[in-house]
Amino acid sequence: MNLVWFRNDLRVDDNPALYHAIKAGKPFHALFISTPLQWQQHDMAPIKIDLIERHINLLSQQLGLHGIHFKHIEASDFAEQAQALIAYCQQQRIENIFANQEVELNEQQRDQVLLDHGLSLTLFESDVIVSKGAVLNGQNEMYKVFTPFKKAWASSLARTHAAPLQVSLPSLKPVSNPVITFNITKQDSTKWPLANTVLQQVLPNFLTTKYQDYHQDRDYPAIKGTSGLSPYLAIGAISAKRVFAELSHHYPNALEVISQPQGSWLNELAWRDFYRHLLHHFPKLNKHHNFNDKYDHLPWPNAPELLAAWQQAKTGYPIVDAAMRQLVQTGWMHNRLRMIVASFLTKHCLVDWRLGETFFMQHLIDGDLSANNGGWQWAAGTGCDAQPYFRIFNPITQSEKYDPDGSFIRKYLPELENVPLKHLHFPHTYLKQHSMDTYWPAIVDHPTARQQALSFYKAG
């Protein structure tokens, strides 16, 4: 008997471990080992845990219809997970284990423990479009700047095509796999459809009706102009290769225009690969180290009252507060807003980017270590291919530009419903003149905070 061990790859389609287990020609079981304590230690959001649970049950049903037994075991953390797997393999007389690699450090250390124990664990790559290690510069090293990486990535992709695997499940007598429930706090994720619906309806609809305007609409949070795929990519419910294949089917010249405005969406898939490649090549990023060592000694003030105001959406900057409410209420935040609020926390409040990174992970349905770390270090100016420290987003002008009619702000800040549009993006003078106390004061003054940030980074 063989075993397919599902981890961060909750899908049948383009699943290399499942594909090779079927190809091996022997009967196999499927297994998922949840680790609630480890999830908490890694700040996994309750809404993401709920999304995982829903997709585990979808996967269990899909496999059961083809006669494949799906087993769920609960372990507290990775150490107990390894012990549980060893015990299961002994009980079931498992000969070979098929699984897909995980790039994160703790997961790799766990897999090494299993290999050292003598388990026959065969690992495959399933999380990127172009293989990690396949995109290197002239010195045979990982690129540290995105644009040349993207060009080499696109060139590699044009040569290899990176086609997704077509997985044909066996036709066996159906079995009834039990419903799986995780014993941990969860937040309802049902506003997000299951991945099979996304592949059949949401993605095709995006590619046919929204893709052409993506480069124009992507920065406006009031417009539903993005694909909404990130939660499914984060848990492996949808394959990045499948997404690229669907894009190529609709737009055969997608790679050729990647550096043009109409290539903006593929550009985002390249960014995702870039951050995962970085995590592979620079394991220190797993430990929340600055990519750029010269910032290791920055004396972040980390004023607790500023961090708390940011977390509680009470900064006094409407675009920041509306974005933070979107995050806490829905488990998701628009990408333009992620840049604005990250810049605000690190450069206006001088709070260590790691504290923002953690808060994001605790709430995001699409929380992903590589992308979250990369995005926060980009905003803080400490990372690979980062925004320079002297570029500081002005939250007022960003608000005026990307929420010009104020509809996003008004959706999440009803406190400002009676403020005219021309005052909405920074309403304090208007509120004071009209003796209105419906909104809280600004926690920092933008020009002052900007100068403090410039001095802070220079001194550091």
Per-residue pLDDT of the chain (460 residues; tens, 9 = 90+): 999 999 999 999 999 999 999 999 999 999 999 999 999 999 999 999 999 999 999 999 999 999 999 999 999 999 999 999 999 999 999 999 999 999 999 999 999 999 999 999 999 999 999 999 999 999 999 999 999 999 999 999 999 878 999 999 999 999 999 999 999 999 999 999 999 999 999 999 999 999 999 999 999 999 999 999 999 999 999 999 999 999 999 999 999 999 999 999 999 999 999 999 999 999 999 999 999 999 999 999 999 999 999 999 999 999 999 999 999 999 999 999 999 999 999 999 999 999 999 999 999 999 999 999 999 999 999 998 877 888 899 999 999 999 999 999 999 999 999 999 999 999 999 999 999 999 999 999 999 999 999 999 988 6
**How many C-beta atoms surround the C-beta of residue 7 within 10 A?**
20
Cα distances (angstroms) measured from residue 111 to each of 32, 106, 279? 15, 9, 17
Residues tagged active-site: 268, 271, 300, 335, 353, 376
Phi, psi at 327, each rounded to 5°: -60, -50
What is the rounded CA–CA span in Å between residue 214 and residue 203?
A: 13
What is the model's pLDDT at position 224? 93
DSSP assignment of 32-91 equals EEE-HHHHHHTT--HHHHHHHHHHHHHHHHHHHTTT--EEEEE-SSHHHHHHHHHHHHHH
Which residue type sits at 138? G
For residue 214 the two structure tokens come to: 């993506």
The gap from C-alpha 364 to its chain's centroid, in whole angstroms, comes to: 8
What is the identity of the amino acid at 392?
I
Neighbours of 50 (CB within 10 A): 21
pLDDT of 162 reads: 83
**What angle in degrees, to the nearest 10, is found between the helix axes of 105-116 and 78-92?**
40
CA atoms within 13 A on the CB side of 172: 17
What is the three-class DSSP state of 348? helix
What pLDDT does 246 receive? 97
The whole-number pLDDT of residue 152 equals 97
CA geometry: angle 178, 180, 181, nearest 5 deg: 140
Q: What is the pTM of this model?
A: 0.96
Question: 169 — phi, psi (to 5°)?
Answer: -70, 150
Q: Nearest CA to 107 among 25, 35, 14?
A: 35
4, 270, 344, 372: CA torsion to nearest 10: 10
For residue 30, give the H/E element and its range. strand 28-34
- Domains in the chain, start-ordered, CATH in brackets? 2-124 (3.40.50.620), 128-163+196-281 (1.25.40.80), 293-459 (1.10.579.10)
Q: What is the pLDDT of residue 196?
A: 97
Dig out the tokens for 246 from the structure.
């669907």
What is the per-residue pLDDT for 29? Answer: 96
Q: Which residues pair with 97 in a beta bridge?
A: 3, 121
